[in-house]
């Protein structure tokens, strides 16, 4: 089964162009399923698995206290895996056919207020090489709403300071151009002039944002940077690098931006994903009403 999982992950990478994080999740989920099958002595091969097997596996995860989102993700991985196996004639039937994912309660994303964002963006010190880089990264993230994985994958040609846009590659390697503002462009220009040349060791390095070793910034590295500045800004909320993306979308919609335009900038394939931010706005409207109306 491990060989088949490897072939499937390679198919997802080459044929469907899925991101490395997605590939890792699929591989991890399928290896968990493989362990489950191995633990059931009567099920030593994929051909032995039935609809009842899959349901038993889902019920076991529920009994173990797995979150509905985790169960839904693992079922999605299994569905895609079995569809691949049927196409490749490895199995005759798909035991996951017509199985529905558990209902998910969509949690509203945590967002920062405009004031909190301003406090966060003021923290990096422009007098240091690291401060120039960090200022540029945070400004670009909030100005464009791109994912952290997209931010750290930017190369120097991906940022057009004259036309004020960044080019990034999202899920499925889909390219999109996202407009950015004058403040973010100025921060990047300052970093390129006075920061990046002192960090880069290899003249051929194309990554825009690099660490102190002169290599591409990692997600973990950026997460540490953001935690540091969040603490220095006195922000009490528990935030993640994705919080600036959520804040970008929410603030745009609060100021009258069209939800379709926000969808395109965020790179969402389905508008329903973007519409969660309109629910955030409605929640805030209720708070305003409750705090302001004399008979609320």
Report the CATH number that the domain containing residue 254 is assigned in CATH: 1.10.443.10
Backbone dihedral angles phi then psi of residue 64, each to the nearest 5 degrees:
-75, -5
| Catalytic one of 73, 171, 176, 284 | 171
Beta bridge partners of 177: 167
CA-CA distance, 205 to 239, in Å (whole number)?
Answer: 31
> How many CA atoms, within 13 angstroms, populate the side-chain half-sphere of residue 136?
29
Which residue, 52, 87, 122, sits at the end of a domain? 87
120 & 257 share domain: yes
3-state secondary structure of 179: strand
Backbone dihedral angles phi then psi of residue 92, each to the nearest 5 degrees:
-85, -30
**64 part of a folded domain:** yes
CATH assignment at residue 81: 1.10.150.130
**60 part of a folded domain:** yes
DSSP conformational letter for 168: E
Reply yes or no on whether 277 is catalytic.
yes
Query: pLDDT per position in the chain (296 positions), as tens?
Result: 788 999 999 988 888 877 777 889 899 999 999 888 888 755 556 777 888 888 888 888 888 988 888 888 899 999 999 999 999 999 888 989 888 776 655 566 778 899 999 999 999 998 899 999 999 999 999 999 898 989 999 999 999 999 999 998 877 677 889 989 899 999 999 999 999 999 998 989 999 999 999 999 998 999 999 999 999 999 988 888 788 888 888 888 888 777 788 888 888 766 666 666 665 555 555 554 466 545 54
The strand ranges marked E within the chain are 159-160, 165-169, 175-179
170 & 39 share domain: no
128 & 273 share domain: yes
For 103-241, where are the alpha helices, taking DSSP H only? 114-121, 129-144, 148-152, 182-194, 196-199, 219-232
Q: Are 158 and 166 in contact (CB under 8 A)?
A: yes
**296 part of a folded domain:** no
3-state secondary structure of 197: helix
CA-CA distance, 116 to 235, in Å (whole number)?
Answer: 7
CA-CA distance, 40 to 294, in Å (whole number)?
Answer: 64
| Catalytic one of 74, 133, 245, 251 | 245
CA-CA distance, 208 to 215, in Å (whole number)?
Answer: 10
83 & 119 share domain: no
**127 part of a folded domain:** yes
Q: pLDDT at position 293, please? A: 46
Q: Are 4 and 91 in contact (CB under 8 A)?
A: no
Which residue, 47, 71, 87, sits at the end of a domain? 87
Q: pLDDT at position 230, please? A: 94
Reply yes or no on whether 212 is catalytic.
no
Residues spanned by the domain of 72:
2-87
Q: Nearest CA to 252 among 143, 146, 116, 108?
A: 143
**272 part of a folded domain:** yes
Reply yes or no on whether 245 is catalytic.
yes
**101 part of a folded domain:** no
229 & 147 share domain: yes
Q: pLDDT at position 37, please? A: 85
Query: Which tokens go with 141?
Result: 């993230």
Q: Nearest CA to 83 among 93, 68, 72?
A: 93
39 & 186 share domain: no
Does the model's pTM come out above 0.75? no
Reply yes or no on whether 293 is catalytic.
no
141 & 226 share domain: yes
Q: pLDDT at position 296, please? A: 44
Reply yes or no on whether 191 is catalytic.
no
73 & 118 share domain: no
17 & 138 share domain: no
CA-CA distance, 265 to 281, in Å (whole number)?
Answer: 18
161 & 69 share domain: no
| Catalytic one of 33, 191, 229, 277 | 277
Reply yes or no on whether 201 is catalytic.
no
**108 part of a folded domain:** no
CA-based max dimension of the chain: 68
144 & 29 share domain: no
User: Could you give the number of structural domains in the chain?
Assistant: 2
Beta bridge partners of 169: 175
Q: pLDDT at position 142, please? A: 92
**133 part of a folded domain:** yes
Residue whose structure tokens are 């309109």: 278
CA-CA distance, 64 to 5, in Å (whole number)?
Answer: 24
134 & 73 share domain: no
| Catalytic one of 133, 147, 196, 246 | 147
Q: pLDDT at position 133, please? A: 96
| Catalytic one of 38, 40, 242, 279 | 242
């Amino acid at each position: 089964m491990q060989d088949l999982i490897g072939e499937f992950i390679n198919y997802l990478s080459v044929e469907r162009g899925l991101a490395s994080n997605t590939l890792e999740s699929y591989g991890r989920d399928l290896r968990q399923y493989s362990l489950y099958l191995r633990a059931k002595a009567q099920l030593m091969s994929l051909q032995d698995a039935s609809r009842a097997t899959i349901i038993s596996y889902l019920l076991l995860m529920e009994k173990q206290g797995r979150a509905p989102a985790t169960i839904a993700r693992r079922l999605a991985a299994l569905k895609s895996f079995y569809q691949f196996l049927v196409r490749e004639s490895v199995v005759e039937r798909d035991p996951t056919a017509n199985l529905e994912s558990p209902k998910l309660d969509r949690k509203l994303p945590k967002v920062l207020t405009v004031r909190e964002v301003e406090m966060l963006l003021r923290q990096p010190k422009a007098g240091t090489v690291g401060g120039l880089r960090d200022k540029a990264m945070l400004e670009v993230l909030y100005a464009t709403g791109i994912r952290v994985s997209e931010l750290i994958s930017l190369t120097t040609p991906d940022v057009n300071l004259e036309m004020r846009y960044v080019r990034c590659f999202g899920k499925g390697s889909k390219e999109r151009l996202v407009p950015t503002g004058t403040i973010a462009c100025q921060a990047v220009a300052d970093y390129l002039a006075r920061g990046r040349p002192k960090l880069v060791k290899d003249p051929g390095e194309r990554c825009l944002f690099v660490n102190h070793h002169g290599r591409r910034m990692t997600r973990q590295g950026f997460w540490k940077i953001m935690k540091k500045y969040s603490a220095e800004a006195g922000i009490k909320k528990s935030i993640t690098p994705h919080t600036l993306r959520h804040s970008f979308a929410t603030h745009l919609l609060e100021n009258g931006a069209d939800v379709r335009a926000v969808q395109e900038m965020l790179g969402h394939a389905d508008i329903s994903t973007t519409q969660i931010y309109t629910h955030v706005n409605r929640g805030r409207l209720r708070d305003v009403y409750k705090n302001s109306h004399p008979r609320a």
